[in-house]
Amino acid sequence: MSATDLSAGNGTDAEAAHPRPVVAVVLVAAGSGQRLGYGMPKARVPLGGEPILMHALRGIVASGVAQQVCIALPAGDGALRRMCDDFRNELVDGGPLLTVVDGGATRSESVRSALAVLEEGTQAVLVHDAARALTPESVFHRVVDSLAAGALAVIPVMPVVDTVKTVKATSGNDARIAPELVVGTAPREQLRAVQTPQGFDLDTLLRAHGAVSGFDEEQGAAITDDAMLVERLGVPVHAVRGASQSLKITTPLDLIIAEGLLEGPLGARWVEG
């Protein structure tokens, strides 16, 4: 597919006001899934009878926002590659271009591997965790709408229900009392829990990831999302409403919740807000 073949948009009034960018979705699925305890990469773990990766892929394609989906898989995982090939064949009516790359040792490396193979003509990129396999289509649309309206960076967020404190490890006498000591309490009304897909103007995201080459190992390991790299450039990062259904499936409890969402009365995509 050439850049000029990449059609965009669906002809709505909103689109007339803000032309849709040519969007690629980077789906990072190269994690080990150790915390899930299944002894296999998380993308392969079954959820409602289908691997987590397939739920994530179907959600992206159903949203209709992407002209390309680039999936970062654990290096050498033949089973997941075959799954992507089969899904490509399923997209009989065309659908987005599906590309597969080997992921890296960290999430951020996996993102960069995918960014390196995006089609010429791509204007915006959504970076999405495969672990957020049940993300509703509406979240993809809110992110793309914000990019179309001029945002260079936009993230879906949720209010925080817990009070959040910063702590430090204790030593000496304090360590005999408890392993950590509270250092501060962040005002809860200003806090947001951050989800994916995170949307970016492509050039901005490339610039943000370009800075990582100067990072040491510790700094590299501390990159937990893409927006934090864009923040370092001084580029404003906008926030739109996420969804509770976009939970990141990380622990066995998350998997139980995700199974429950799938079995809910209205199926996978019913919980909003």
Residue nearest to ligand C5P (CB): 31
C-beta of 106 vs 122, nearer to ligand C5P:
106
Can residue 107 be called a binding residue for ligand C5P (CB under 6 A)?
yes
Q: Which of 103, 197, 199, 242 binds ligand C5P (CB under 6 A)?
A: 103
Count the residues of the shown chain that bind ligand C5P, applying the rule CB under 6 A. 15
CB 42, min distance to ligand C5P, A: 6
Can residue 105 be called a binding residue for ligand C5P (CB under 6 A)?
yes
Per CB under 6 A, contacts with ligand C5P among 61-100 are 72
Task: Give the chain as a 3 state SS string.
Answer: CCHHHCCCCCCCHHHHHCCCCCEEEEEECCCCCHHHCCCCCHHHCEECCEEHHHHHHHHHHHHCCCCEEEEEECCCCHHHHHHHHHHHHHCCCCCCEEEEEECCCCHHHHHHHHHCCCCCCCCEEEEEECCCCCCCHHHHHHHHHHHHCCCCEEEEEEECCCCCEEEEECCHHHHHHCCEEEEEECCHHHCEEECCCEEEEHHHHHHHHHHHHHCCHHHHHCCCCCHHHHHHCCCCCEEEECCHHHCCCCCHHHHHHHHHHHHCCCCCCCCCC
Q: Which of 63, 67, 99, 110 binds ligand C5P (CB under 6 A)?
A: 110
CB 224, min distance to ligand C5P, A: 6
Interface positions with ligand C5P (CB under 6 A): 28-31, 42, 72, 103-107, 110, 129-131
